[in-house]
């Protein structure tokens, strides 16, 4: 990939003198969905697939960005002076947003950049191509300009840029998982206070298989922000009696005893998911520590059921993939992952059954949905780095 990027950089920008190559991973969340903006726990891991970039600093304030994934859009040129100007629906808003966010946080980028990007995360799949691009851009800025920021800072700046520049009211999980990834470990993160621990993932005789619906979605125009506001309204109702800052503070029993305060059946369902999913995530991490992969799988399945029935963010494509996955031999667990409304599901499958699993689920999905799903057998990787 490095040589491929350097060659493309030379083609696009004339020469590759002084260019360095960088990488940031994608991520998959094993359990804990739509909890990160509700003050709950999440359990993501970084992947060995991700986003690569070849970058070089300039002597002026010109910004030239090119993506091998969106070659048809050509070179996007702008200047640091007009960094606040967004282009409707353009991928360049993600790196531009990070440069803008660095400035907002007191780290002024005073020279332009030439950057070629290339990612092997399927776009719009729910494996955090946007967070990968954001953290990667932040890491490049840190390395080139010597900014004194930690990887955790890169996650927070990436989230800030997505919230304030790109208008997606996302939680911290995606950027945190990308920036803080560790090989062969998932991150048990409490999004309420950003305390975290690494939990080694030991999948003896099993593999993580990602199932991509190939239904494209965009978070900004999905019902993501609507779900968030529904949870905020439910929380406000509960706060009329309970001294809590987030839904993540409640146990299942506390929620059941007080849910009538919410006074709206739909908002009760949304809040129920947030509370129960948080508790499932805590139980799932304990199950892994106890080497109880079977229980972990059952909690994954319960997570999907809740996302389908209470949070209503799955849809026929994800539901079909998960239902067909659970019919197969050797499947320990399966659930949608990411924001939903398309994107991906994640499953844990016994190694000897992976090939038949992919064949059988793929066939059934195409028959029902009318187009093919894609499958990726993935490994857990580390965070951003210079290559």
pLDDT digits (tens, 9 = 90+) for 103-140: 999 999 999 999 999 999 876 666 778 899 999 999 99
Give the dihedral of Cα atoms 261, 265, 268, 269; nearest 10 deg.
170
Q: Give 218's pLDDT tier (boundaries 50, 70, 90).
A: low
Residue 147 · residue 107 · CB < 8 Å: yes
pLDDT, average across residues 155-179 = 92
Delimit the domains of the chain by residue range: 2-32+42-200
- Does the active-site annotation cover 290? no
Residue 156: CB partners within 8 Å, gap ≥ 6?
Answer: 172, 175
pTM: 0.90
**pLDDT at residue 233 above 70?**
yes
Distance CA 276, CA 105 (A): 35
**pLDDT at residue 185 above 50?**
yes
In this structure, which CATH number among 3.30.230.10, 3.20.20.10, 3.40.1280.10, 3.40.1710.10 belongs to the domain 2-32+42-200? Answer: 3.30.230.10
User: What tens digit of pLDDT does each residue of 309-359 get?
Assistant: 999 999 999 999 999 999 999 999 999 998 888 889 999 999 999 999 999
Query: What is the structure's pLDDT at 220?
Result: 45
Find the radius of gyration of the CA atoms of the chain. Answer: 21
Distance CA 265, CA 233 (A): 12
Q: 61, 82, 148, 174: which is the annotated catalytic residue?
A: 174
φ, ψ for residue 131, nearest 5 deg: -65, -35
Mean pLDDT, the chain, whole residue set: 94
Distance CA 15, CA 233 (A): 54
Query: What is the structure's pLDDT at 216?
Result: 66
Tell me the two tokens of residue 58.
């300039």
φ, ψ for residue 189, nearest 5 deg: -115, 130
Residue 55 · residue 140 · CB < 8 Å: yes
Helix-helix angle 354-369:316-325, to 10 degrees: 140
Closest Cα to residue 307, out of 343, 344, 260, 274? Answer: 274
């Amino acid at each position: 990939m490095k040589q491929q990027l350097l060659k493309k950089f030379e083609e696009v920008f004339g020469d590759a003198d002084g260019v360095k190559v960088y990488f940031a991973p994608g991520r998959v969340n094993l359990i804990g969905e739509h909890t990160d903006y509700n003050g709950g726990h999440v359990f993501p891991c970084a992947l060995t697939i991700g986003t690569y970039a070849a970058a070089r600093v300039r002597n002026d304030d010109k910004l030239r960005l090119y993506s091998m994934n969106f070659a048809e859009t050509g070179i996007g040129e702008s200047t640091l002076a007009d960094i606040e100007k967004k282009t409707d629906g353009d991928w360049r808003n993600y790196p531009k947003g990070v440069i803008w966010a660095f400035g907002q946080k007191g780290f002024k980028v005073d020279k332009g950049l030439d950057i070629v990007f290339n990612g092997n995360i399927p776009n719009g799949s729910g494996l955090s191509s946007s967070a990968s691009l954001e953290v990667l851009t932040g890491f490049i800025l840190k390395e080139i300009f010597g900014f004194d920021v930690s990887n955790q800072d890169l996650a927070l700046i990436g989230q800030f840029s997505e919230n304030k520049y790109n208008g997606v009211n996302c939680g911290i999980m995606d950027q945190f998982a990308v920036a803080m990834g560790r090989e062969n470990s998932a991150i048990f993160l409490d999004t309420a206070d950003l305390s975290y621990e690494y939990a080694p993932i030991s999948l003896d005789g099993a593999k993580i298989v990602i199932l991509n619906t190939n239904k494209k979605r965009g978070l900004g125009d999905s019902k993501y922000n609507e779900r968030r506001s529904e949870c905020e309204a439910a929380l406000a109702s509960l706060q009329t009696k309970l001294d809590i800052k987030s839904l993540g503070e409640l146990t299942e029993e506390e929620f059941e005893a007080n849910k009538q305060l919410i006074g709206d059946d739909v908002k009760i369902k949304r809040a129920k998911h947030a509370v129960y999913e948080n508790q499932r995530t805590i139980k799932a991490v304990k199950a892994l520590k106890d080497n109880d992969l079977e229980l972990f799988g059952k909690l994954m399945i319960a997570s999907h059921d809740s996302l389908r029935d209470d949070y209503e963010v799955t849809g026929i494509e994800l539901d079909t993939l998960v239902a067909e996955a659970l019919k197969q031999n050797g499947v320990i667990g399966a659930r949608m992952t990411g924001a939903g409304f398309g994107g991906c599901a994640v499953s844990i499958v016994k190694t000897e059954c992976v090939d038949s699993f992919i064949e059988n689920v793929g066939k059934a999905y195409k028959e029902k949905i009318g187009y093919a799903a894609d499958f990726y057998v993935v490994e857990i990787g580390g965070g951003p780095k210079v290559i």
